[in-house]
Amino acid sequence: MNLYSLSLSDIAKKIKLKEVLIKEVLDSVYARIDEVEPKVDAYITLTKEYAYKRAQELQEKLDNGENIGVLGGVPIAIKDNICTKDIKTTCASRMLENFIPPYDATVIKKLEENGAIIIGKTNMDEFAMGSSTETSYFKKTKNPWDLEKVPGGSSGGSAACVASDMAFAALGSDTGGSIRQPASYCSVIGLKPTYGLVSRYGLVAFASSLDQIGPFTKTVEDAAIMLNVITGHDNMDTTSLDIDYEDYTKALVNSVDKIRIGIDKNFTKDGVAEDVKNAYNNSLELLQKLGANIVEVDLSYAKYSLATYYIIATAEASSNLGRYDGIRYGHRAKEFSDLIDLYKKSRTEGFGDEVKRRIMLGTYVLSSGYYDAYYKRAQQVRTLIINEFKKAFDNCDVILIPTAPNTAFKFGAKAENPLEMYLEDIYTVPVNIAGLPGISIPAGFDKDAMPIGLQIIANAFDEQKMLQVAYTFEQNTDFHSKKPEIK
Amino acid sequence: MREDYEVIIGLEVHAELSTNTKIYCGCTTKFGADPNTHCCPICTGMPGVLPVLNEKVVEYAVKMGLATNCEIARFSKQDRKNYFYPDLPKAFQTSQYDLPLCEHGHLDFKVNGQDKTVGITRIHIEEDAGKLIHDAYTGDTLVDMNRCAVPLIEIVSEPDIRSADEAVTYMQTLKSILEYLEICDCKMQEGSLRCDVNLSVRKKGDTKFGTRTETKNLNSFRSIARAIEFETNRQIEELENGGTIYQETRRFDDARGIGYAMRSKEDAHDYRYFPEPDLAPIVLSEEYIANLKASLPELPHVRKQRYINDFSLSEYDAEQLTISKETANYFEKVNSICNNPKAVANWIMTDFTKLLNEAEITISESKITAENLAELILLIDKGTISSAIAKKVFKKMFETGKSAKQIVEEEGLVQVTDENEIKQIVLKIIDLNPQSVQDYKAGKDKAIGFLVGQIMRETKGKANPQIVNKLLLEILNK
């Protein structure tokens, strides 16, 4: 068996037990990258030199008997919207094509403190806006299960690189489903933590009240390990919560006995592919068989999530992306007649269509005279959705819905119709609107052998319950152990 | 201004808070450093950074609110004001929109002896922008981000002000309170205290306000007064000539003494305010507010009343002394040594103020220490030197920083009170001026003045004037 195909926890153990050298692990992963990256295109930047230097340092420490951390020597990929000091962070945008951050994101510090080795920065939809990674300025990442199909998005590069064994884990960001949906499309674990659990300091903001960083992994256990590392209060982010953080690996119990699983049949009635629906029903049946109780919950307001999302997210984005003006860093137009012209041309050239569309939408909904009708009302609906979930969790421990209504689609299939693309997030967006944790785990394949994901949602800060159900499901199925044949 | 018109003014005052660090990061707020040396990824708006509110900013703003009789919000929030400008690295200014920290206050003061009250609409916190520097050599415009995110409070008044005098006194009163609270250094020439003037005119008796204009960024009392006079006259003239006043933003060119339109409201920004999602609402407890209230120092109007009561000073003198905390502290220190409040007040308000204004420095920057001024006053009180000599000594003290005693000794200025010594001189002058003596005896009292002058000149002003007078009359009347 190749080293690169092991799980994070297995490779970390092997390194610690000195069964392998860290360098050998890196060799294996970079060889794998050389082999499949030309087909998958998951990375924007590879940090090989930096990685080998780190590997040597860590190996020396390990050989000196020092503790190199729970992720000691493990190669990890980072979505290219998380700032890495001295390493290009492009957000897959022409605007930041040559942007090198002068500082590390808090999660990067935490990963490195725990021994992780950053091996590269992954492709994504430009500024995390999209559901297919097609809006990247640089390249189109392919779904390892079918190279003619999208990997999902916006963290498509991170999902694809874990699915094709080009990293043991990756970080992504999830604003409306950008971790869970590509995890579902690529058959890996994708976890979006509760809003406020992980510091956003250093995550290039798309929609500040919705963004959250989370891991992609090959197993639920690995997700728990990654979560242990990246969570925690950060003085640099006042929205990160100061609570007692538990060891998430303690939640890895193979049992769903008496666990109450909430479902809303109406929510999953229409617009869901037949195969996805079947996989979902089979999953419910299995969990029931394993001792879980199914309870009906009412998520009537959740269907307004998408509309709410596209007002709040675009409003915040229109403000967050104002700083890319060609003045201090980033793309600046070569020729301009005056200041306004400099702004116009730099932004016209620097941003792609989807980013422009969302900036315009957001600018519109915040305009004087429209604020009350759009932004304010969206915030009111957001409160209704939050309360609805709160009520639902009075009667259940987790809520199960499909991660996405469909499996991965062909390149260009939805590119011409933004609304159809937005609908791919219909089951993931409510979780962001309510600030809840959600995880997508492999739960089957459709008739074209494309992966299907199952989404488990828990109450705020109840990642343990979510992980317990995910772990139990994983231990009793083998979807997660299937690997794509990349051809 | 024409008698049949009335001017309506509201001020928006910006005060930079003298916190050690900026409002959302740990950078220093010190003024005058090399460009772009007091900044970091956060205050330069790098991708991915987040703000963390400096709690001192809230504390200072609440203190100002309490000192101006405002209601303090138990719940307020910060909002983003979005617009593009090269000195604004995030393309939004974090400010407060609909829920400011302080509201519904008022300020009482006296203008030309009349009581005046001006309502304070609100006080909110926000961040300052950077500075653009035009390089005349290359023609480039460069940005200095040292001032980016220096904390500000904006104090917005009701349109209660009716003259330039009232505006200036209101502003002076605010400045005085800011200094007393030690929350702003109030260096107007450095821009740490500045104001925008909203102004409209109407015919006396009209109940509706006219269209107002906003003259921005005035940073001296003089330019506030001049800008108001200019704009008032402009508007009246415009209306008298059948013209229209447009709602617009204006600037005042202090050097040329004229105002001009900057941009009209038609092409004004839509700032697209919305709540700052990266910052939690500001929630203040009753205890927090009560503690701040208890910690407020003695404010100018209270101190003024104390001066009237304890030192028997006139209202005017008390006002003049207490308007600046620095001056008032100086006054009290001097008086604690020499215990002659009236004399101390007179020195500070006349000779001292004149020299300070000429040198363009403040009282604590002058070379005359409180101890030295007290010593000078004691020398007069004891009769060691005359008042006339004292004025000369004072000037020397101001120039050199030497003590009064030292100057008096070095220059031999001690008052001559020895009657025998003075008598010799009196006799000498009488001998030398027989005509004047004759004039006096013929009933011309004026001649006395001449003779006294001659005697003082002979003694270089050192002779005690009372003794001179006494002896001269004695001798002449013999």
Note which residues in 200-229 of chain A have CB less than 8 A from chain B. 200-205, 207-209
Predicted pLDDT of residue B264: 61
Predicted pLDDT of residue B268: 61
Is A205 contained in some domain? yes
- What is the C-alpha separation between B46 and B24, in angstroms, rounded? 13
Domain count, chain A: 1
Predicted pLDDT of residue B464: 83
Contacts of B149 in chain A (CB under 8 A): none
B47 interfaces chain A, CB cutoff of 8 Å: yes
Are the C-beta atoms of residues A316 and A211 closer than 8 Å to each other?
A: no
Q: Which of A7, A9, A28, A79 is catalytic?
A: A79
Paired tokens of B268: 């004004």
Alpha-carbon distances, residue A240 vs A106, A211, A231, B279 (angstroms): 11, 12, 9, 11
Q: Which of A154, A155, A164, A318 is catalytic?
A: A154
Paired tokens of B267: 């092409």
Tokens 């020597």 label which residue?
A73
The answer to whether A154 is a known catalytic residue is yes
The answer to whether A440 is a known catalytic residue is no
Testing the interface with B: which of A104, A318, A327 to mutate, by most B Cβ within 10 A?
Answer: A327
Contacts of A348 in chain B (CB under 8 A): none
B80 interfaces chain A, CB cutoff of 8 Å: yes
Kindly report, residue by residue over B168-182, the tens digit of the pLDDT. 999 999 999 999 999
CATH number, domain with residue A98: 3.90.1300.10
* Domains within chain B, CATH numbers bracketed: 5-291 (no CATH), 298-410 (no CATH), 419-476 (1.10.10.410)
Is A446 contained in some domain? yes
B52 interfaces chain A, CB cutoff of 8 Å: yes
A113: distance to nearest CA of chain B, Å? 20
Is A250 contained in some domain? yes
- What is the C-alpha separation between B12 and B149, in angstroms, rounded? 19
Contacts of A313 in chain B (CB under 8 A): none
Binary contact (A239, B91; C-beta < 8 A): no
- Here the ipTM equals 0.95
- What is the C-alpha separation between A438 and A431, in angstroms, rounded? 7
- What is the C-alpha separation between A142 and A140, in angstroms, rounded? 6
Q: How many residues does chain B have?
A: 478
Alpha-carbon distances, residue A67 vs A59, A115, A403, B172 (angstroms): 11, 9, 38, 64
Residue of A nearest to B45 (CA): A323
> Strand pairing of A213-217 and A260-263?
unpaired
Contacts of A203 in chain B (CB under 8 A): 48
Q: Which of A7, A93, A164, A178 is catalytic?
A: A178
Nearest to B90 among A102, A237, A322 (CB): A322
- What is the C-alpha separation between A128 and B211, in angstroms, rounded? 47
Note which residues in 354-393 of chain A have CB less than 8 A from chain B. 363, 366-368, 371, 375
Alpha-carbon distances, residue A184 vs A331, A422, B447 (angstroms): 34, 16, 115
- Residue B460, classed as helix, strand or coil, is coil
| E strand intervals along B211-257 | 213-218, 248-253
* Displacement of CA B241 from its chain's centroid (Å): 38
Predicted pLDDT of residue A378: 97
Nearest to B274 among A82, A83, A315 (CB): A315
- What is the C-alpha separation between B398 and B27, in angstroms, rounded? 39
- What is the C-alpha separation between A191 and A220, in angstroms, rounded? 9
> Strand pairing of B151-157 and B114-127?
antiparallel
Are the C-beta atoms of residues A260 and A296 closer than 8 Å to each other?
A: no
Is A420 contained in some domain? yes
Predicted pLDDT of residue B439: 87
Q: Number of Cβ pairs closer than 8 Å across A and B?
A: 99
Alpha-carbon distances, residue B119 vs A420, B11, B374 (angstroms): 55, 11, 41
**B147 closest CA partner among B160, B131, B170:** B131
Residue of B nearest to A202 (CA): B48
Kindly report, residue by residue over B276-310, the tens digit of the pLDDT. 999 999 999 999 999 999 999 999 999 999 999 99
Is A328 contained in some domain? no
Q: What is the mean pLDDT of each run of 10 residues along chain B (478 residues)?
A: 88 97 96 93 97 97 98 98 96 97 96 94 97 89 95 98 96 96 93 95 91 94 95 94 92 90 69 96 97 96 94 92 92 93 93 90 91 91 84 90 87 80 87 86 83 85 83 84
Is A382 contained in some domain? no
Contacts of A367 in chain B (CB under 8 A): 270, 272
- What is the C-alpha separation between B233 and B255, in angstroms, rounded? 18
Paired tokens of A310: 């596209």
Binary contact (A99, B47; C-beta < 8 A): yes
Is A226 contained in some domain? yes
Alpha-carbon distances, residue A36 vs A24, A45, A89, A303, B404 (angstroms): 18, 15, 23, 39, 91
The residues of chain A scoring below 50 in pLDDT are none
Is A297 contained in some domain? no
Testing the interface with B: which of A328, A338, A348, A365 to mutate, by most B Cβ within 10 A?
Answer: A328
A121 interfaces chain B, CB cutoff of 8 Å: no
3-state secondary structure chain A: CCHHHCCHHHHHHHHHCCCCCHHHHHHHHHHHHHHHHHHHCCEEEECHHHHHHHHHHHHHHHHCCCCCCCCCCCEEEEECCECECCECCCCCCHHHCCCCCCCCCHHHHHHHHCCCEEEEEECCCHHHCCCCCCCCCCCCCCECCECCECCCCCCHHHHHHHHCCCCCEEEEECCCCCCHHHHHHHCCEEEECCCCCECCCCECCCCCCCCCEEEEECCHHHHHHHHHHHECCCCCCCCCCCCCCCCHHHHCCCCCCCCEEEECHHHHCCCCCHHHHHHHHHHHHHHHHCCCEEEECCCHHHHHHHHHHHHHHHHHHHHHHHHCCCCCCCCCCCCCCCHHHHHHHHHHHHCCHHHHHHHHHHHHHHCCCCCHHHHHHHHHHHHHHHHHHHHHHHHCCEEEEECCCCCCCECCCCCCCHHHHHHCCCCCHHHHHHCCCEEEEEEEECCCCCEEEEEEEECCCCHHHHHHHHHHHHHCCCHHHCCCCCC
Predicted pLDDT of residue A37: 98
Task: Please give the residue range of the domain that contains residue A217.
Answer: 3-259+396-481
The answer to whether A79 is a known catalytic residue is yes
**A218 closest CA partner among A179, A183, A180:** A183
